[in-house]
Structure formats: C-alpha cells, structure tokens
Homo-oligomer: A and B are copies of this chain.
Amino acid sequence: MDMHETAVHPHADGVRPLSLRAVAALASTERFTRGREIYCAGDEGVAWRVCLGAVRLDQQIEGETRFAGVAVAGDIIGAEVLMFGRYTYTARALSEVTLEPWSSSMEEVAPGKLMHMLAGIERRSVDSLALRSGSAERRIGQLLGLIGRGLALGRSKVRVALPALRDIAEITGLTIETVSRTIKSLRGNGELEMIGERRAREVWVESGPALADDRACAFGVKTDR
C-alpha cells in the first residue's frame, strides 16, 4: 500500500518521474542475477553505475579472494579502469542487479562528477568497515540495512533478497554457521521479517535515513529532523 501511494503521487517522498535522459540510460542497462559475476579483476571494460541492487567487490590476490567492499544502488563501480585500464576488483551480484555504463574515459568525466564519485567511495569505505564492527547481529543488520538503503527510493521499508549465507559470512567476517544461527534468532525475536524458506528468501528492511540526510549529518550540518 505504501508502494501504491508512491505510484499515485510520484512526487511524494522525493521520487521524481523519469527524465528523458534517465529513459535513454535505461535502454542501455545490463542486468545480472544473484551470484553472477559482473566483471573480473584484470579484465578491460568500462565503469558502471549501480541502478538497483547490491554488488560485492573482492580483491583477487595470490589465489585467495579478499573482501574489498559492498556497492549499492547509486554507487559507481569499476572507476579504476579510468586510471589503470583494467579492473582492480572482481564484482559479483549480491542480489538482482541493474547497471548502466557510467564513463569509459577519464577525459569525458566532469570534475564535479569525479568528486561526487569520490565521496561515494569514501562512504562505501566507511559502510564496509561498519560491516566488520560489533556483534554478529549488528554486522548482519548493518549489511541488510546497507542493501536496503540503495533500494529504498523513499520508501521506509524495502523487501530485499537475502544474499547467500556464504556471501554474508565472507562480507561480515563471520562463519556460515554463525550467520545461519544469527538470522534464525533475529527472525525469532521478530527483529527480521522474512518471506520464503531456505534459498530465495526475502527480508523486510527498515531503509533508515535517506542518503542526503546522511551526508548532511556526516559533515556536521544540523538538520531539522
């Protein structure tokens, strides 16, 4: 019903109708299913903007893969190609993911756009760090919140596909078993509303503060909440 509201009054909650530019971009988007590899470290390619979903980034170093961060809707991924010509990290879809090409050469990127991306990367860094802080409950909650935030589009609650336990475990630095048990207990406490069983589960996530608020708060500007 919340979604219905949004559909009837598209300007409510800060959701704007699609601009011509957005429609054009939509035409060239690429979609990936959960678990699919998006690109591999060392490959050539372009930078992407995540339109929808969450992406896991890993550093491939001496055979073993090391977690390098999570990117969500709105983030730019693969910007390293502008600098090095090749991807530094491997990207895999944590959920259904939609991407649009962002930029293929450094020259065509406006400085403002670069700075914006830069800010995004900083935020991603801090968010990724939060995924390794505190108890198992806190970490998993943080991850789900992060995934949900990018998908919220102004809604207060979002339904997100639960990533594979293996992914959650590697991202949070926990074991698969601990993740399984923690999710079970969160569900038992009523702290996690869940749909479906085993594979193909979805959870309802409070989307938290919008990104704009976040940023304002981050650099010390008072907001009138």
Most buried by B among A66, A68, A109, A122: A122
A116 is contacted by which of B68, B83, B128 (Cβ under 8 Å)?
B83
Most buried by B among A84, A118, A219: A219
Kindly state whether residue A121 has any CB partner on chain B within 8 Å.
Answer: yes
Residues on B with beta carbons closer than 8 Å to the beta carbon of A116: 83
Could you say which of A129-137, A153-161, A185-193 contacts chain B?
A: A129-137
- Whose C-beta in chain B lies nearest to the C-beta of A85? B219
Q: List 28 A-B contacts (CB under 8 A).
A: A59-B126, A66-B130, A68-B125, A68-B129, A69-B125, A69-B126, A69-B129, A80-B118, A80-B219, A83-B115, A84-B219, A86-B220, A87-B219, A88-B122, A88-B219, A106-B111, A111-B111, A111-B114, A114-B114, A114-B115, A118-B118, A118-B121, A121-B121, A121-B122, A121-B125, A128-B129, A129-B129, A132-B173
Give the B-binding residues of A (Cβ under 8 A): 41-43, 59-61, 66-69, 79-80, 82-88, 106-107, 109, 111-112, 114-119, 121-122, 124-126, 128-130, 132-133, 173, 215, 217-221
